[in-house]
Structure 1
Amino acid sequence: MSNLTPFEQVRVAKARYCRFVDTKQWEAFSTLFVAAPEILVYDLADQLIVSFDSRDAYVAACQGYLVGAHSSHQVHNDELTQVSATEISAIWSMEDCVIFPEADASVDARPARHHGYGHYHETWVQEDGAWRIARIELRRTILEITPK
């Protein structure tokens, strides 16, 4: 990707983020983050519902949540700002749809599905020749949950 501009490199990396989550390529997914990123997820009322400060913990949580599920994650309408030669600020419109396997509700607290929209607010940094996520904040605007 060295012949691509920094913005193009970040766009490609974010596309891989979505694809790696949906295809459950967890090792590849983990390479998109610095070792100690700041990851924050907010609900519709703008309340922090979960945070991570470890790439490995975040990847493990994603892997656990999506086990057996089918998902589609999409981003678009990127707003990229070059902060410095090694830092890019990004905002992406996002949509995700996750359909969970049927399970015994007493064992699996996940809903039947969720379909959400919102925005990722991110900081990307260049590390070892690659653009990686140092900070990601998901702020939802719509979240439709179908209970089991």
Structure 2
Amino acid sequence: MLTSSYVSFEIYLEITKKKAQYGRYIDTKLWDQFQSLALPNARFRFYNADNTLISRNGRDFDFDSLSSFVDWWSEFFKNAQTLHMFGPPEMSLQSEDEVFVSWSMEDQLCFQGTAN
């Protein structure tokens, strides 16, 4: 039985470390190391500030597996220099083995061959 929605300090630190690695591995294109961060069946969803799913040019930013996420983003960022920055996380314990986490995020993307 879950008695508190608070995440322990140890879990908080581990999740925060993984998120920092997430940004660093993407920015340095270390896709093999990136794949060690999540389970193969992890689902990645990206939302707008109004809690609607982000969609661009007919592509929903909803990836049903780690491999589909890596395949799409590694190709999209192939000719880009990226910088991902994350705000402090909001975390709440959903069950004994599940934590809901929300971050604000800003990214900078510079693609080769585009004008300044």
Q: Normalising to structure 2: TM-score of the pair? A: 0.76
- Counterpart in the other structure of 2:91: 80
1:23 corresponds to which of 11, 24, 28: 28
Count of aligned positions: 102
What pairs with 1:31-110 in structure 2 (closer than 5 Å)?
A: 31-42=36-47, 46=52, 48-49=54-55, 50=60, 51-102=62-113
SS class of match (1:37): coil
Contiguous gaps of at least 5 residues in structure 2? 1-8
* Structure with the bigger percentage of helix: 2
Q: Is the 8 A contact 2:45 2:53 kept in 1?
A: no
Q: Where does structure 1 differ by over 6 angstroms across 4 or more consecutive aligned residues?
A: none
TM-superposed CA distance for 1:80, in Å, is 1.1
- Counterpart in the other structure of 2:12: 7
Q: Normalising to structure 1: TM-score of the pair? A: 0.61
TM-superposed CA distance for 1:84, in Å, is 2.7
TM-superposed CA distance for 1:65, in Å, is 0.4
Hey, what's the Cα distance between the residues in 1 that align with 2:64 and 2:91?
23
Q: What's the Cα RMSD here? A: 2.3
TM-superposed CA distance for 1:48, in Å, is 4.6
| Comparing 86-95 and 31-40, the one that deviates more | 31-40
Paired-residue identity, %: 25
